[in-house]
Amino acid sequence: MIKEATVKRFHYHSHDPLRTHLIDFMAAYNFARRLKSLNGLTPYEYICKNWTSEPEQFTLNAIHQMPGLNT
């Protein structure tokens, strides 16, 4: 999926634009794309939901992993 969304669709003159596009793609996928396999939740929402119900399964607080002003 990532390859089809990046290098198969666009030509990059260097690695910097590719890195930027990959970061943007991953952010959009994890925080905006709703997936049928996750019952309509985004991957981030799914992780937060599971963290809330079973926090012992995680070593990091999922809520603290959301990008924001300090990222």
pLDDT at position 40, please? 95
Query: Quick check: 2 and 22 in contact, CB under 8 A?
Result: yes
Q: What is the pTM of this model?
A: 0.66
Nearest Cα neighbor of 71 from 21, 16, 27 is 27
Q: pLDDT class for 2, splitting at 50, 70, 90?
A: confident
pLDDT digits (tens, 9 = 90+) for 12-63: 889 999 899 888 888 888 888 999 999 999 998 998 898 889 988 888 776 6
Report the Cα–Cα distance between both ends of the chain, in Å, rounded. Answer: 25
Q: Does residue 24 sit in the same domain as residue 55?
A: no
* Domain encompassing residue 53: 35-71
Q: Does residue 28 sit in the same domain as residue 39?
A: no
Tell me: pLDDT of 71 over 70: no
Structure tokens at 48: 């937060």
Handedness of CA 21, 42, 45, 2 (dihedral sign): negative
Q: Does residue 58 sit in the same domain as residue 44?
A: yes
Q: Which residues contact 48 (CB under 8 A, 6 or more apart)?
A: 62, 63
Q: Does residue 49 sit in the same domain as residue 20?
A: no
